[in-house]
Amino acid sequence: MSDLLETVVFLCGIYWPYMAVAAAIGLVTGWLSLSRRPGEGAP
């Protein structure tokens, strides 16, 4: 368990910029998911 935690902390320390970018993209996606008007994007 502690090994896994250490690995996660280690990876977060190195790859945090990528995670931040992913979070930012998710933020925009989450925000825009509510902005779509009904019927928009429907085939």
Q: Is 36 in the site for other proteins (CB under 8 A)?
A: no
Q: Is 11 in the site for other proteins (CB under 8 A)?
A: yes
CA pair distance 1, 8, nearest whole angstrom: 11
Q: How far is CA 2 from the centre of its chain?
A: 25
Cβ-based nearer residue to other proteins, 17 or 43: 17
CA pair distance 25, 34, nearest whole angstrom: 15
Q: Is 18 in the site for other proteins (CB under 8 A)?
A: yes
Residue ranges binding other proteins (CB under 8 A): 7-8, 11-12, 15, 18-20, 22-35
